[in-house]
Structure 1
Amino acid sequence: MSAVTDPTRTEGVRPTRQVLALARSESTLLLRNKTALFTATLIPLMLVALLGVLPSALSGPPLAMSMVIGSVLLLVLYYSLVTSTVARREEHTLKRLYSSAVRPAAIMIGMALPLLILVAVQVIIGLIAVAIVMGLDSAPHTWLLLPAVIAGCAVWWVLALASCPFTKSVEAAQLTTMPLIMVALGLSGMTVPIGILPGWLQWAAQLSPMFPTIDLAFVALSATRVTGEAVGGSQLWLAVLLDLGVAAGWVLAGLWLLRRRFGWEPRR
């Protein structure tokens, strides 16, 4: 096996080089799946094209970008990372990496890095498509899309790895990932308006893992939270800090579960 496809040959090198070696190996596998890569790249374009033909009252840049970001986080990062990690665990690849000189953190980051780059590319494609189809002239805080995507990537990267101990096989990932995907779709404002939910559920929705990302995307492009609340000045910064705090809470919870439950050997 060549050095490119054998990330275990990293003895004596720095963690950064270990991460890059693993990422290069994962990228090679990802690029070989031309169909999946092509389909994934089309996700933002298809969503923007679909929303672009709907009445403006039913769509618009905030909803379009939130759906682009949310869908790529769920499908490209979360689900794909769960299935790829479980597959490598069952093939004893994770066990070989863990018993080598590669640090556990480098393994986890290296496996996700190509998917994180793909998410970034898709978000950029989606943003360009939204600007062309719908326009972004009135977007007040476009820069907030950056922390929105970073926070979303951090949350769903950790949650993907934390879901692996509960996933016995690649096929089982369709079931084990469903609860978080359904929560993300139903309680983030991405597909179901937060305003139609009961009061207590609206409050709970703001603590769900996808809500911070979708909320920041709405504030970035409309100065209005996904809950419908207009924000500006100190209220804007308070909303941003609250969203980032919720995202940080999910990252910490995922890391705690990861340390306690993540397994490097195949499930018996």
Structure 2
Amino acid sequence: MNLSAVLRVARLDLALLWRNRTALFTVFGLPILFAGMLVPMKGQDIGGVDGALLQGTGHLGFFLVFAVFMNLVNVFTARREDRTLKRLRGTALSDAEITGGSVLTATGMYAVQALALLIVLGAALGGRFPADPVLMLAGLAGGAAVFALLAFAVSGITPNAELAQLTVLPIMFGCMLGGGVMFPLDELPGWLQQVCRAVPLTPVVEIARTAYFGQDFVHHGAPHPSVGIGEGWLACVRPFLLLAFWGALGRAMAARCFRWEPRRA
């Protein structure tokens, strides 16, 4: 795969995004709206930590749904239906370069969102620098890979660009309600906790919170015990394994469902 070719496709994606106001709002407007919702939570104790910081670290994962998943479903579906993917495939670009440029653009925009949110958490909401930034980077990168693969699969079963906003909703609401973003999963009944921990966003949120606070948000409810660098990685083994499972499932679904030509063809 040629990096310069991937970058050329990424620049094309970025230029097209700036011309699409709906996509632009989905990628940047909704995260800003959700970030604004953190202000009233400042000072509230939830599970032994500040409510704004708890939800903010959840949003670090949830923004993947907007910037990566929803964005890529829209991009791949629209370009398939207007035959852009088919035309690009007839050029010297490889399949990996065509799709890799779009994934690079989406991941880059997500990285900007995540960095901006971390600055807001530290500068305006009384937060701190992540206790283990490497662990956080690994968790967020793994989440970006999983949601990109899911986007490939969902775009393949989406009939047209107009319906793309609807086909993403089940995953979006499932992640919002079951990913531990808005409230700790410890407050749910035991059986429901297990169901919610299987949601693809949950391991990202658990890793992000463990890395940010330096506390175990995987195995223990409030109060969450403090963990060192090595202990934090050990605590996050289960979330990483779950991400690997979703990544393998997403790849298999993408290989089966992703389409290069319009569904009507």
Shorter-normalised TM range: 0.7 to 0.9
Which residue of the other structure, out of 11, 14, 19, is the alignment partner of 1:32? 19
RMSD: 2.3
Aligned partners of 2:37, 2:139: CA distance in 1, in Å? 23
- More displaced 10-residue stretch of structure 1: 163-172 or 26-35: 26-35
Cα distance per residue 1:143-184 (max 9 Å; x no partner): 432112211111111111110111001121222212211221
**What residue ranges of structure 1 are gaps of 5+ in the alignment?**
1-13
Report the Cα distance in structure 1 between the residues aligned to 2:11 and 2:130, rounded to whole angstroms: 37
Letter in 1 for 2:236: V
- The partner residue of 2:10 within 23, 33, 41 is 23
**SS of 2:87's equivalent?**
helix
Query: Residue 157 of structure 1: which of 125, 143, 148 is its match?
Result: 148
Question: Within 1, Cα distance between the matches of 2:148 and 2:257?
Answer: 16
SS of residue in 2 equivalent to 1:53 = helix
Q: Does 1:244 align with 2:240?
A: yes
- TM-score w.r.t. the length of structure 1 is 0.85
Does the 8 Å CA contact 2:61/2:208 hold for their aligned counterparts? no
- Any unmatched runs of 5+ in structure 2? none
Q: Which amino acid aligns with 1:232?
A: V
Which of 223, 229, 232 matches 2:227? 232
Q: Deviations over 1:46-105 (max 9, x none)?
A: 4344322324215132321222x2342111211111011100000011111223332112
Aligned-pair CA distance for 1:40: 4.1
Find the residue that maps to 1:60 and give its secondary structure.
helix
- Per the alignment, do residues 193 and 136 of structure 1 end up closer, same or farther by CA in structure 2, a change over 3 Å counting? closer
- Number of aligned pairs? 254
* TM-score, normalisation: structure 2: 0.86
What does 1:189-268 correspond to in 2, within 5 Å? 189-222=180-213, 223-225=215-217, 228=221, 229-230=224-225, 232=227, 235-268=231-264
- Work out the CA distance in 1 between the residues paired with 2:137 and 2:129: 18
Cα displacement string for residues 207-227 of structure 1 (whole angstroms, at most 9, x for unaligned residues): 221011100111122213166
1:231 offset after TM fit, Å? Answer: 5.6
* Contact in 1 for aligned 2:57/2:208 (Cα 8 Å): yes
Q: Which residue in the other structure is 1:10 paired with? A: none
Q: Is the 8 A contact 2:211 2:232 kept in 1?
A: no
- 1:51 matched to 2:38? The reply is yes
The CA distance in 1 between the partners of 2:248 and 2:103, in whole Å, is 18
Conserved 8 A contact 1:136-1:221: no
With 211-220 and 15-24 compared, the bigger mean Cα shift is at 15-24
Structure 2 Cα separation of the partners of residues 106 and 15 of structure 1? 7
User: Could you tell me the percent identity over the aligned residues?
Assistant: 32
Most deviating of 181-190 and 225-234: 225-234
SS at match of 2:45: coil
Partner SS, residue 207 of structure 1: coil
> Could you tell me which residue of structure 2 aligns to residue 6 of structure 1?
none
Deviation at 1:124, TM superposition (A): 0.7
